[in-house]
Amino acid sequence: MLEKIAGIGLVTLLTLALVGGSAYILLRPPDTPVFHTAHGPDHPGCDHGQDRGNDGGGRWGHGHGSEVDHGGEEHPAETWTTVTGTVVALDPDLVLQTEEGEVVVHLGPEWYWDDQGLALEIGDQVAVTGFFEQDGLEATRIENLTTGQSLALRDGSGRPLWAGRGRGGRW
């Protein structure tokens, strides 16, 4: 009898958690982050004049650009900049040595650019076009000047190409 009550209680608890989580996802304000990054605005890879480095998490920019729902915020091409430099690190993000110093570049998930055939090696010369956010450059396009390969990572509004149509195709 006690096992039956415990089982019913567990099923009820799991059902409430599922319903509550679903309600939160469906009813949250559009500017609420969907996922939180493992690092905040004071991340050592942040390009705000602080020391730079890597936090040891992730691999080659995995996940960046899709971690936070920016509430449909667009980054039109006229706000983009191009940075040219030498690849000095690939884990967890691409780090470029430029004339101005090191720049952390988020390429998005490794599977996307790996599926597209983009190969990067330490020492390669690259040109990255993108927009700056709180912890680095969000790449919209990358060109490996050493190999001649290039890859678009985001559309003209800055939306990640690996994200699919999203929001019921309203993008």
Q: What is the rounded CA–CA span in Å between residue 91 and residue 28?
A: 33
Mean pLDDT of the 135-147 span: 94
CA distance 43 to 33: 17
- pLDDT value of residue 126: 97
In this structure, the dihedral spanned by the alpha carbons of residues 78, 84, 89 and 94, taken in order and rounded to 10 degrees, is 20
Could you state, in order of their start, the residue ranges of all structural domains in the chain? 1-30, 48-160
Question: What's the pLDDT tens digit per position in 12-57?
Answer: 988 888 887 777 777 766 554 433 333 333 433 333 333 333 333 3
Tell me if 138 sits within 8 A of 131, measured CB to CB: yes
Percentage of the chain lying above the pLDDT 90 cut: 35
| Closest to 75 in 3D by CA, of 165, 170, 154, 152 | 154
Q: Check residue 80 and give its pLDDT.
A: 93
- Among 2-16, 18-32, 137-151, the minimum mean pLDDT is found in 18-32
- Percent of the chain whose predicted confidence (pLDDT) is above 70: 68
Give pLDDT, residue 29. Answer: 62
Average pLDDT, the chain: 74
| CA distance linking residue 64 with residue 72, whole number of Å | 16
Q: What is the pLDDT of residue 30?
A: 57
pLDDT band at 73 (very low <50, low <70, confident <90, very high): low
Q: Give me the CATH topology for the region 48-160.
A: OB fold (Dihydrolipoamide Acetyltransferase, E2P) (2.40.50)
Alpha helix locations (H) across the chain?
2-27, 110-115
